[in-house]
């Protein structure tokens, strides 16, 4: 194998082992499995509730956008322009349910866990930064003390006053 091919394969290996790629792959797999659960809930629970108003299959809801709309026996549009708003509504409900479950069952508990862990963590003393005003005040006081001869440490270039 040439040196260039080894470099390409090594770069590809580093790309695959990067944390973001692995996390993304796990998220896609979990998301695909989770989609089946959400679709089942929509099909088994939400659609029947909405079916109390009309059809249990939201795909049947449509709106004719032209003067004449004709469907054949199999339900295909042969003439006219249909807006299938039932499909859009079904997809929107599925999305909102997925987002709600992800937020309430995954994101919200993880944020609360992180907040509790941050509250338990010891306070870092080095995190307290000296402000610019405090630093300038300290420099002023040191310069004044050096001028008066009361400073604890003198600069080597200064001479003692008699």
Mean pLDDT on 143-159: 67
Q: How many Å apart are CA 106 and CA 112, to the nearest integer? A: 10
pLDDT on residue 72 = 78
Give all domains of the chain, ordered by start, each with its CATH number: 3-118 (1.10.1200.120)
Helices (H), 42-131: 47-51, 85-102, 108-120
E strand or H helix at 82: strand 82-83
What residue has token string 């959400």?
A: 38
Q: How far apart are CA 75 and CA 91, in angstroms?
A: 20
CA distances, 100 to each of 13, 26, 30, 96 (Å): 36, 20, 16, 6
What is the arithmetic mean of pLDDT over 87-102?
80
| Class of residue 58 by CB neighbours under 10 A (exposed 0-12, middle 13-18, buried 19+) | buried
Q: What is the mean pLDDT of the chain?
A: 77
User: Of 28 and 71, which is predicted with more confidence?
Assistant: 28
* Beta-carbon count within 10 A of 101 CB: 14
CA-derived radius of gyration, the chain = 35
What does the alpha-carbon distance between residue 6 and residue 3 come to, in Å, rounded to a whole number?
5
List, in sequence order, every residue forming a beta bridge with 77; answer none if it has no partner. Answer: 71
Q: Mean pLDDT throughout 95-105?
A: 80
Per-residue pLDDT tens for 116-128? 988 888 776 555 6
């Amino acid at each position: 194998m040439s040196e260039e091919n080894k470099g390409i394969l090594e770069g590809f290996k580093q790309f695959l082992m990067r944390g973001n790629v692995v996390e993304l792959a796990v998220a896609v797999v979990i998301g695909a499995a989770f989609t089946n659960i959400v679709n089942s809930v929509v099909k088994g629970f939400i659609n029947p509730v909405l079916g109390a108003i009309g059809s249990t299959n939201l795909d049947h809801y449509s709106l004719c956008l032209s003067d004449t709309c004709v469907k054949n026996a199999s339900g295909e549009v042969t003439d006219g322009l249909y807006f299938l708003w039932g499909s859009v509504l079904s997809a929107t409900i599925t999305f909102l349910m997925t987002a709600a479950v992800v937020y309430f069952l995954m994101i919200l508990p993880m944020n609360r866990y992180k907040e509790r862990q941050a509250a338990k963590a010891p306070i870092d003393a080095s995190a307290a930064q000296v402000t610019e005003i405090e630093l300038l005040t300290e420099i002023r006081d040191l310069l004044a003390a050096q001028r008066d001869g009361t400073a604890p440490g003198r600069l080597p270039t200064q001479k003692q006053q008699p």
